[in-house]
Amino acid sequence: MKLILHIWRQKNAASAGRMVRYEAGDMNPDMSMLEALDVLNERLIEKGEEPVAFEHDCREGICGSCGFMINGVAHGPQRLTTTCQLTLRHFKDGDELYLEPWRAKAFPVLKDLMVDRGAFDRIIAAGGYISVSTGSAPDGNAIPVAKDNADRAMDAAACIGCGACVAACPNAAAALFTGAKITHLGLLPQGEPERHERALNMVAQWNIEGFGACTNLGECEAACPKGIRLEVIARMNHDYLAASCHRR
Amino acid sequence: MSTTAVAVATRKSLRFYDTTVGKKAVMAVSGVVLFGFVLAHMAGNLQIYEGPEKLNAYAKLLRAMPAALWGARLTLLLMVVLHIWSSVKLALLNKLEARPTGYVRHKSQTAGYAARTMYWSGPIILCFVIYHLMEFTLGVGGTPYQEGNVYANVVAGFKVLPVSAFYILSMILLGMHLSHGLSSLFRSLGFDHPRYTPVIKHLAIAIGTLIVIGNISIPISVLAGWVK
Ligand code: FES
């Protein structure tokens, strides 16, 4: 099949970028979006042109490295699917696709379709962990966890930190990501002791990084390849407000 | 997770009002109070269907308690200021700062028409409130005004077609504003539940619609000659 690809090309963080049109003929519909770019890049290299830079690692939808906008939708039109898992058969022969990097002040473009998501790492560093001494492993099942809480924590823990929520949000807010981490840790007994501090610090860091504010539109939920629910944002707000009241 | 981590920024704690979550909570709480006023105001207005004596007596009753009246007015004013302050701050962040370079192509995945129009339904409702106070409280709205005769003022005011049209438009926008705000505020204040949230969403739309119908029935009745 043949695709017309309009790809954002930008040499480096300092330079200005632009959309460039490529005709990618002879594509196998069973290839993933990233494999299509691999093929395109091989052809570009053969012609002596600069290949398109994009992030990837696992290519099986679990690491959170990949992702760009495909026709204005984060990770493309297929719900609950990362870019690496999106196959070309979801498009029609001759389709025009616009590939753009995530856009947010907190996610500066490094090159082409690659952005710097270090802001997410700093949000995690602000409180996305539990402070326990590691050493000897505790007994399994020593701390009982309610089934419902374990399930909800697990659902929130499915977040792979890809950044699609920020990219899809009209406000470039980091609410779904931050909420997922706060929910995943705070619902479990090991994360409970630092629940308030975590909410205060992670929300503060999200704001310091320059992400926008959540206006409850739900674009993030629709874009999330891991099906993280808006519920996690409510829990983050709850923890943050409770922590603000309790703070001494 | 990101492959391009750099040094961890020094963490300074932000005060409640400095954070987006804090401002959203301020917006939610002030919004609830203003919604309560909208509801009470509509209940009062609907007494127009019981005739001039009833409505004018109600208006007189409110004025007979100056302390309560001014207490309520000042509270509402404070809520309006807080609501506008928090929304302007967040709107500036969201619209101007958070995404300096936009997308060439962008497609919305959710329907949320009311949610998306909050930015302009809000300012139009503010203009409406100002004109509404000028017309019926201060008597400087350009329509006939008699001190103390609320009924006559309403009828005379709504006989002017552009005034009625502006009221009707503003009420539709208010209904849309509330249909998003009334459910959104629950999440802003930390509540979301798979069983109740869908119900809250429907209720918010129903309440928003009722407020539109209740309030626009008055100018329509005046224009149609049912209330004279
Ligand atoms: S490359 Fe790992 S999720 Fe796509």
A57-115 pLDDT tens trace = 999 999 999 999 999 999 999 999 999 999 999 999 999 999 999 999 999 999 999 99
pLDDT value for B111: 67
Shortest-distance Cα residue to atom 3 of ligand 1: A61
Q: Do B24 and A237 touch (CB under 8 A)?
A: yes
Q: Judge whether B96 is closer than 8 Å to chain A, CB to CB.
A: no
Q: Per DSSP, what are the bridge partners of residue A24?
A: A3
Looking at residues A193-221, what average pLDDT do you find? 95
Least CB–CB distance from B103: residue in A100, A209, A231 = A100
Compute, in angstroms, the gap from residue B162 CA to the centroid of ligand 1: 58
The answer to whether B164 and B219 have CB atoms below 8 angstroms apart is yes
CATH code: domain of residue B215? 1.20.1300
Output the pLDDT for position B130. 96
Confidence of residue A213 (pLDDT cuts 50, 70, 90): very high
Looking at residue B115, its pLDDT comes to 78
What pLDDT shows up at residue B6? 37
The domain of B196 spans 3-224
Residue A161, chain B, CB below 8 Å: the answer is yes
The finding on whether A56 has its CB within 6 A of some atom of ligand 1 is yes
Domain architecture of chain A: domains with CATH = 3-111 (3.10.20.30), 117-247 (1.10.1060.10)
Interface touch A244/B2, C-beta < 8 Å: no
Which tokens sit at B30?
């002030």
Answer yes or no: are the C-beta atoms of A173 and A120 closer than 8 Å. no
Read off the pLDDT of each residue in B216-226 and give the average, rounded to a whole number. Answer: 96
Distance CA A183, CA A198 (A): 10
Contact A205 B9 (CB under 8 A): yes
Q: Residue range B168-188: average pLDDT?
A: 96
B15 touches chain A (CB under 8 A): no
β pairing state of A18-24 and A69-70: unpaired
For chain B, the average pLDDT equals: 91
Q: With CB atoms and an 8 Å threshold, state whether B11 touches A215.
A: no
Q: Which DSSP state fits A129?
A: S
User: How much is the average pLDDT of B118-128?
Assistant: 92
**Separation in Å, CA of A63 to nearest CA in chain B:** 7
How many domains does chain B fold into? 1
How long a stretch of residues is chain B? 228
Residues in chain A closer than 8 A to B6 (CB atoms): 116, 118
Question: Which residues fall within 8 angstroms of residue B152, CB to CB, at 6 or more apart?
Answer: B52, B144, B146
B2 pLDDT more than 60:
no
Question: Residue B210 Cα, ligand 1 centroid: separation in angstroms?
Answer: 48
Instruction: Inform me whether the pLDDT recorded for A140 exceeds 90.
Output: no
Residue B82 clears pLDDT 80, i.e. is over it: yes
With a CB cutoff of 8 Å and minimum separation 6, the contacts of B17 are B23, B26
A165 contacts chain B (CB < 8 A): no
Whether ligand 1 lies within 6 angstroms of the CB of A76 is answered as no
Q: Which amino acid would we find at residue B21?
A: V
Flag if B93 and A239 touch (Cβ within 8 Å): no
Assigned token pair, A90: 């979801």
Name the residue of A55, A60, A70, A81 whose CB sits within 8 Å of the most ligand 1 atoms, as the mutation to test its pocket.
Answer: A60
Q: Does pLDDT of B1 surpass 60?
A: no
Q: What is the pTM of this model?
A: 0.93
Q: Which residues in chain A have Cβ-Cβ distances shorter than 8 Å to B182?
A: none
Percent over 90 (pLDDT), chain B? 84
**Band (A139; pLDDT cuts 50, 70, 90):** confident
Q: Of B12, B18, B109, B182, which to mutate for an interface test with A (greatest number of A Cβ within 10 Å)?
A: B109
Does A46 score more than 80 pLDDT?
yes
Nearest residue, CB atoms, A217 vs list B3, B115, B194 = B115
Burial of residue B60 (CB within 10 Å: 0-12, 13-18, 19+) is exposed
3-state percent breakdown (helix, strand, coil) of chain A, nearest 5? 40, 15, 50
Q: Is A58 in the pocket of ligand 1 (CB under 6 A)?
A: yes
Q: How confident is the model at residue B60 (pLDDT cuts 50, 70, 90)?
A: very high
**pLDDT at residue number B8:** 37
A155 CB neighbour count, 10 Å cutoff:
19
Confidence class of residue B228 from pLDDT cuts 50, 70 and 90?
Answer: confident
Residue in chain B closest to A162 (alpha carbons) equals B1
Average pLDDT over every residue of A175-193? 96
Query: CB–CB of B129/A202 below 8 Å?
Result: no
A210 contacts chain B (CB < 8 A)? yes
Is 60 exceeded by the pLDDT of residue B4? no
Contact (CB, 8 A) for A153 and A188: yes
Cα A71 to Cα A114: distance, rounded to the nearest angstrom: 17
Q: Which residue has the tokens 């379709």?
A: A113
B5, B20, B197 ranked by CB distance to A214: nearest: B20
